[in-house]
Amino acid sequence: MTAKAIWIDGKLIPWEEAKVHILVHAMHYGSCAFEGIRMYANPKGSFILRFKEHMKRLLDSAKIYRIACPYTLEELMAAVKETLLANELKEAYIRPFIFRGYHSLGLNPFKCPVVTAIAAWEWGTYLGPDALEKGVSVRISSWNRPAPNTMPAMAKVAANYMNSQLVKMEAIQDGFDEGIALDTFGYISEGSGENIFIVKNGVLFTPPSSSCILPGITRHCVFQLARDLGITVKQHVLPRESLYVADEAFMTGTAAEITPITKVDTIMVGEGKRGPITQKIQKAYFGIIRGEQEDKYGWLEKVA
Q: Is the pLDDT of residue 126 over 80?
A: no
Using 50, 70 and 90 to split pLDDT, how confident is the model at 115? Answer: very high
List the catalytic residue out of 19, 156, 280, 302.
156
Cα 97 from Cα 95, distance rounded (Å)? 6
Provide the pairing of β-strand 248-253 with 195-200: antiparallel
pLDDT at 211: 97
Q: Which CATH number fits domain 5-121: 2.60.40.10, 3.30.470.10, 4.10.640.10, 3.40.50.620?
A: 3.30.470.10
Q: Is the pLDDT of residue 234 over 80?
A: yes
pLDDT at 195: 98
pLDDT at 181: 98
Which residues, other chains included, contact 148 with Cβ-Cβ below 8 Å and sequence gap of 6+? 184, 210, 212
How confident is the model over 181-207, as a mean pLDDT? 98
Q: What percent of the chain has pLDDT over 90?
A: 96
Which residues, other chains included, contact 136 with Cβ-Cβ below 8 Å and sequence gap of 6+? 127, 128, 176, 177, 178, 251, 259, 260, 261, 262, 263
How confident is the model over 64-70, as a mean pLDDT? 97
The identity of residue 72, as a single letter, is: T
- The secondary structure of 192-234 as a DSSP string is SS-EEEEEETTEEEE--GGGT----HHHHHHHHHHHHTT--EE
Whole-model pTM? 0.95
Q: Is the pLDDT of residue 304 over 90?
A: no
Q: Which of 195, 177, 173 has the alpha carbon at shortest distance from 134? A: 177
Domain 131-289 coded CATH 3.20.10.10: yes
Q: Is the pLDDT of residue 194 over 80?
A: yes
| Chain centroid offset of residue 53 CA | 12
156 is catalytic: yes
- What are the residue ranges of CATH 3.30.470.10 in the chain? 5-121
pLDDT at 124: 77
- What are the residue ranges of CATH 3.20.10.10 in the chain? 131-289
Q: What percent of the chain has pLDDT over 70?
A: 100
Least confident of 10-19, 111-120, 121-130: 121-130
